[in-house]
Chain A
């Protein structure tokens, strides 16, 4: 069931900047959705409109069936946001800012929850420190802690791991997994493809204010992900033997490596190629396969619009 549904959403800033164009998007309950796109694509704008920080120009958004403008009280109760920038009051303590975050949502102080969240994000020792004394990565954690204090059903993470060390990044991933187990819907933006690959169920690609692709991560990988088979020969050859011309093969400059590129979905000709090589009397010294990462798929999608697959 769709917990978030966006119809024909557009945003024009100052009558001229078209930040979002006719966005349609539907996100299911419990899903982890990664929104990928280059700088200025409109990711933050989209999130801010859903959260009530930015006014939309046209379109409708519903969260759990409620309209985000007319019934914003109901929708905002369900949503927490971790903003892209480190927006924190420097003069209050970590614990206080977390308590306030829950208070604004109209929820009673809950000591156990506060303790759990601060411990989970390794902020327990810092609870009485003023926010201004924390490092950037710790501030990022405070923002996450504040968002969790509202026990949201939908959590928006706008580049949660920008400027964060490897350790925190992995603990972030674990946190997302735990929240997902509890049924929280998570929508994140990121520039790190590995992050989307690691966490997301569904990937949306946004470019220049248009959502160009929405697909389950596996499908995206399968449909566009190609694999390479690299065969290293014992002796070098001048050209690919005629018998192998039916396959799309390429030969490296030094004449030792034959590369075969294939889609993961199509039935492959690996066995045929290997037996042809044997028939030609060529001895194979090594075989290696390479899989394209989401990053390569992503670059491909942005630069070759004709490859776009659209699921809406």
Chain B
């Protein structure tokens, strides 16, 4: 392994995050905090408890997941798109770096950024309401795997995009809807049967459900099924990425 090379990609990406912390870290935290205030404190006070937790508490894991996956995706997709756009990708492609090292460098940096944002959101949520975490180790696993999976997915999007428009197309058209329909604001079980079934093809449902179980110990989907499906989705992304790098699709002419 070229550890120094992998670390150099990682550090360069982290420097990029901390060079503009307002945009990369603070702004997603503030946006999520607004959801707490509007949906949790204002509207949530009118809603009865869901499986033993207040509505405010109920939406916290979902909002954390939503921030994790959107930020992880945007960090890695812009991380690879930018050097492709300005041409500096040449220094990575001509260096003795394996595909695995390049992928890990970008995705681990994006995952780190997302986990920092997720932790900050949790801390901010604590200002509004107490939120116990019943299974902290599982919570970390669900958060990490989700962020990592979406970092991989983001890398695919960043490579596939050859315009800024395409780069923002996926998050706007697919990721945000999937996240909103993934059960951030409601348990899947309150939906009509058809919509419940449709929801089950949305991978975000399992991610949110998994984290919610780690927090409160109850949820509408078996956490083992959630974990398995997240890993399946992760492996799909890994497979796609290795194929992209092997063929050089949109990277090497």
Residues of A within 8 A of B (CB): 13, 51-55, 72-74, 76-77, 79-81, 83, 85, 87-92, 100-101, 103-108, 146
If A104-B8, A105-B5, A107-B4 are given as contacts, then 12 extra A-B residue pairs at C-beta distance below 8 Å, sorted by A number, are: A53-B93, A55-B253, A72-B96, A74-B96, A80-B94, A85-B87, A89-B83, A89-B86, A89-B88, A91-B16, A100-B8, A108-B4
- Find out whether the CB atom of A90 lies under 8 angstroms from the CB atom of B91: no
B253/A104 in contact, CB under 8 A: no
Chain B residues with CB below 8 A from A53, complex form: 90, 93-94, 252
| A246 CA to B113 CA, complexed, in Å | 85
- Is B135 at the interface (CB under 8 A from chain A)? no
CB distance from A93 to the nearest CB of B (A): 11
A55 touches B8 (CB 8 A): no
Q: Are A76 and B8 in contact (CB under 8 A)?
A: no
Q: With a CB–CB cut-off of 8 A, which chain B residues contact A74?
A: 96
Neighbouring B residues of A80 by C-beta, 8 Å:
94
User: Which residues of B sit under 8 angstroms from A107, Cβ to Cβ?
Assistant: 4
| CB of B243 closer than 8 Å to a CB of A | no
Contact indicator A76/B95 (Cβ below 8 Å):
yes
Q: Helix, strand, loop or mixed for chain B's interface?
A: helix
Q: Which of B122-150 contact A (CB under 8 A)?
A: none
Q: Which residues of A contact B16 (CB under 8 A)?
A: 91
When A53-B252, A55-B248, A55-B253 are in contact, do A106 and B88 touch as well, CB less than 8 Å? no
- CB-contact partner of A87 in B19, B88, B248, under 8 A: B88
B252 smallest CB distance to A (angstroms) = 5
User: Is B97's CB within 8 Å of the partner chain A?
Assistant: yes
Q: Are A54 and B86 in contact (CB under 8 A)?
A: no
Known A-B contacts A87-B88, A87-B90; the reply to A100 vs B12 at CB < 8 A is yes
Contacting residues, chain B, for A105 (C-beta < 8 A) = 2, 5, 95-96
A232 to B90, CA, bound (A): 57
Could you tell me if B97 and A104 are in contact, using CB atoms closer than 8 angstroms? yes
**A54 engages B252 (CB within 8 Å):** yes
Interface assignment of B186: CB less than 8 Å from any CB of chain A: no
For residue B152, CB closer than 8 A to chain A, the reply is no
Inter-chain contact A103/B5, CB cutoff 8 Å: yes
Q: Are A104 and B95 in contact (CB under 8 A)?
A: yes
Contact with B253, one of A13, A73, A76 (Cβ below 8 angstroms): A13
A8 to chain B, nearest CB (A): 20
- In Å, the complex CA distance between A85 and B86 comes to 10
A87 and B94 contact, Cβ closer than 8 Å, known pairs A55-B252, A103-B5, A104-B5? no
Measured CB to CB, the nearest residue on chain A to B253 is A54
Of B11, B90, B97, B253, which contacts A83 at CB under 8 A?
B90
Other-chain residue from A87, A100, A106, A146 in contact with B87 (beta carbon distance below 8 A): A87
- Collect the chain B residues with CB atoms within 8 Å of residue A90's CB: 86
Given contacts A103-B7, A104-B9, A108-B4, contact A77 B96 (CB under 8 A): yes
Could you say which residues of chain B place their CB within 8 Å of the CB of A103? 4-5, 7-8, 11
Question: Which residue, of A79, A87, A103, has the highest number of chain B Cβ atoms within 10 A?
Answer: A103
Q: Within the assembled complex, what's the spacing in Å between the Cα atoms of A164 and B117?
A: 45
Residues in chain A near residue B90, CB distance under 8 A: 51, 53, 81, 83, 87
Is B98 on the interface with A (CB-CB < 8 A)? yes
In the bound assembly, the distance between CA atoms of A55 and B86 in angstroms comes to: 20
Query: Least Cβ distance of A5 to chain B in Å?
Result: 19
Output the nearest chain B residue to A79 by Cβ-Cβ distance: B94
Closest CB-CB distance, A252 to chain B, in whole Å?
53
